[in-house]
Amino acid sequence: MTPLSDLTEYFSACKADIDEALETLLPSAPGCPSTIAKAMHYSVTAGGKRFRPVLTLAAADAIDSTSAMGSSRALALPFACAIELIHTYSLVHDDLPAMDNDTLRRGRPTAHVIFGDGLAILSGDGLLTEAFTVMAKTGSREDAEAMGRRLRAIGAVAEAAGAAGMVGGQAIDLEASGLNKQLASGPTTQLDADALLDMHERKTGALIKAAAVSGAIIAGGSDAAVNAIRIYAQNLGLAFQIVDDILDVEGAAPDLGKTAGKDAAAGKPTYPSLYGVEASRNHAAEAANRARDALRETGLESRLTQIVDWVVSRTR
Amino acid sequence: MTPLSDLTEYFSACKADIDEALETLLPSAPGCPSTIAKAMHYSVTAGGKRFRPVLTLAAADAIDSTSAMGSSRALALPFACAIELIHTYSLVHDDLPAMDNDTLRRGRPTAHVIFGDGLAILSGDGLLTEAFTVMAKTGSREDAEAMGRRLRAIGAVAEAAGAAGMVGGQAIDLEASGLNKQLASGPTTQLDADALLDMHERKTGALIKAAAVSGAIIAGGSDAAVNAIRIYAQNLGLAFQIVDDILDVEGAAPDLGKTAGKDAAAGKPTYPSLYGVEASRNHAAEAANRARDALRETGLESRLTQIVDWVVSRTR
């Protein structure tokens, strides 16, 4: 195992592959009307660490390291891209005036500021749909087992992104923030600790989990391996969210797409507001330990281990 | 072949199957947050003829009638439901104030009127995503060929629904209507005949085509049969749209989700406004003939033939 400092290089190399693949697969004129192509391209190329798609590749690599099948990068890369397309669509829709009403993201004006609300909504719809086009495309000579894995991975991603997962989490958040039109004049719902956990597990946790799990499935992981990576990613997502909340309180540049201090200002509950910063740090550390244990018990220690180390140590 | 009057019964029987299946597969509490489940349910059960999903079942039936494989209804029904979920999501998003700003659909308030813009957007996102969850779910003991067909059908639906298809068509429409924020203060783009055809082929034609094609693929149609049904559905969609435009001008209750006379009032070009009603009727009749020819040449005359007869003769 290489030292943690090495992870930066791994991330950069993965990110370069992902960015190149995204550039190739995004629809463009003349097959696709130019305005919508431009709007989709704008949001996908707005920057970002590509945390989720790198996780997909790292999960596939972890499975590869335990098997004699060779690299499954070519199979995992489209899924990594699909995860990033879905993540990007969710940011575009979340930023809309009807939702979080954010005008800046990663230092650039949000999609609706540039293209108007209507086209921003459509560009999000286009990105979400494109993700499935990308995942459904089979390679040549794909056998029954490979196709079965592909369908299972598509199902896992769709379920995570849908109303029981990410979309449902955003709906809970919307309601709790009192932004729901019907509730705007009434009292806002205050989430308790359990409801907060549920909201985050759906809103950000589900897609992080699907990012890793889809990589593990497509690489041909056994049921036990896929399950270990599921437990790993669930705890990784939790640690990621808690650290994000702490960084938000401390005013550092946040990652999950919020203006610093904005959650607290909006009266949204956060881990630090419920537990305090110290106990929140402990929660994150415990989740990180559970993530590491899941890998160790199945012999899957890999870049995935380094990623969880990075998540709990990051300062921005 | 049974007489045209029979088609009503066929439609009713298919619609009952589709409605029942939709009811079962829609996410519900506690697995899914109740507000988003309610919003999705509201729009899916708002009524409508289920034209597109019936087309999926009819295409599968047409293939079945030429093969000894037996009924593929169980395979086609999830695809029919997915097509309806995608159609419904597109209506929910199109009705938003940022797009067509419609407050009534099928006699009921539109989703955003009831649930607010934010939740309406999310419910559309949820419906679109659910469509892919439904299509990706494999039956037990599905062999390599069946899985290959499933992946091909998912790809066809995703491509039709995406930026090169339905979403792209809506983007063109939005731009042409001057509703695009950037264009709101400038002149609106006036579509010429070719651009109108392109817009409709994407906005409504693509999903109608995918409805039929996915049914044909999943039922195991040969390349020649799938291609014939593709040509059939492309012309069916065109005839459908032209008749819809004529009915809109004549003030009858339209089907594609517009308030009567609204397109003309909004300055949107229509077939009658470009060609006049008489020539538009001829265009529709010619498209219907091409659709019938495609079926006849491949021995696929079936309910599909009756459906095109109905489309050009309908008065509402």
Are A163 and B115 in contact (CB < 8 Å)? no
Question: How far is residue A114's CA from residue A285's CA, in Å, rounded to a whole number?
Answer: 40
**Of the ranges A207-211, A246-250, B27-31, B101-105, which is most confident?**
A207-211
Rounded to an integer, the average pLDDT of A105-109 is: 90
The phi, psi pair for A29, rounded to 5°, reads -65, 150
- Please tell me which of the candidates B136, B151, B175 has its beta carbon nearest to residue A138: B151
Do B122 and A167 make contact, defined as CB atoms within 8 angstroms?
yes
Distances (CA, A) of B88 to A269, B42, B80, B123: 34, 10, 12, 10
**pLDDT higher than threshold 60 for residue B183:** no
Cβ distance A162 to B129 less than 8 Å, yes or no, reads: yes
Q: In this model, does residue A258 exceed pLDDT 60?
A: no
Interface contact B122-A37, CB threshold 8 A: no
Residues of A in contact with B35 (CB under 8 A): 171-172, 175, 180
Q: Are the beta carbons of B161 and A129 separated by less than 8 Å?
A: yes
- Alpha carbon distance B29, B149 (integer Å): 33
- What are the tens digits of pLDDT across the range B106-147? 889 999 999 999 999 999 999 999 999 999 998 878 999 999
User: In chain B, where does DSSP find H-type helix?
Assistant: 7-25, 34-44, 51-64, 73-94, 111-115, 117-136, 144-161, 166-176, 193-200, 206-218, 223-250, 262-265, 271-275, 277-297, 303-313
Q: How far is B285 from chain A (nearest CA, A)?
A: 28
Other CB atoms within a 10 A radius of the CB of residue A141 amount to 6
Range A133-153 average pLDDT:
93
Structural domain includes residue B249: no
Helix axes B206-218 and B51-64, enclosed angle (nearest 10): 30
* Cα–Cα distance measured from residue B40 to residue B31, given in angstroms and rounded to the nearest whole number: 14
Q: What share of chain B is helix, strand, coil (3-state, %, to 5)?
A: 70, 0, 30
Poorest-pLDDT segment among A261-270, B66-75, B218-227, B258-267 = B258-267
In a domain, B97, yes or no: yes
- Range from B41-45, B119-123, B227-231, B243-247 carrying the lowest mean pLDDT: B243-247
> Is the per-residue pLDDT at B30 higher than 90?
no
CB B167 within 8 A of CB B175: no
CATH of the domain at B58: 1.10.600.10
pLDDT value at position A186? 46
Task: State the nearest Cα–Cα gap between B280 and chain A, in angstroms.
Answer: 26
Residue B263 lies in a domain: no
Q: Percent of chain B at pLDDT above 90? A: 75
Q: Given a cut of 50, is residue A122 above it in pLDDT? A: yes
pLDDT of B254 > 70? The answer is: no
Task: Work out the pLDDT band at A263, boundaries 50, 70, 90.
Answer: low
- What's the total number of domains in chain A? 1
Burial class (CB in 10 A: 0-12, 13-18, 19+), A290: middle
Position A165 scores a pLDDT of 98
Res A296: pLDDT? 97
Residue A214: pLDDT over 80 = yes
- Number of Cβ within a 10 Å radius of residue A119: 29
Q: Which residue has the tokens 């947050």?
A: B33
Q: Which of B25, B43, B102, B122 to mutate to test the interface with A (most CBs of A within 10 A)?
A: B122
| DSSP state, residue B291 | H
Measured between beta carbons, the chain B residues lying within 8 angstroms of A175 are: 35, 119
DSSP A87-104: HHHHHHHHTSTTTT---E
Establish if B234 belongs to a structural domain.
Answer: no
Residue A12's pLDDT is 95
Positive or negative, the CA dihedral B269, B275, B276, B281 is negative
Q: Domain residues for A144?
A: 4-313
Nearest CB partner across the interface for B172, out of A33, A133, A142: A33
Higher pLDDT, B315 or A29: A29
Nearest C-alpha in A relative to B26: A163
- Please state whether the peptide bond connecting residue A269 to the residue before it is cis, i.e. omega within 30 degrees of 0: no
How do strand B104-105 and strand B108-109 relate by DSSP bridges?
Answer: antiparallel
Residue B187 has pLDDT above 50, yes or no: no
Rounded Cα distance, A203 and A210, in Å: 12
> Which tens digits make up the pLDDT trace of B257-300?
445 556 655 667 789 988 999 999 999 999 999 999 999 999 99
d(CA B80, CA B56): 5
**What local confidence, expressed as pLDDT, does residue A254 receive?**
47
Residues of chain A with Cβ-Cβ distance to B182 below 8 Å are: 115-116
Q: Which of A10-14, A31-35, B51-55, B260-264 has the lowest mean pLDDT?
A: B260-264
Q: Which residues of chain B does A129 touch, with a Cβ-Cβ cutoff of 8 Å?
A: 128, 158, 161-163, 167
At residue B180, what are phi and psi to the nearest 5 degrees? -60, 130
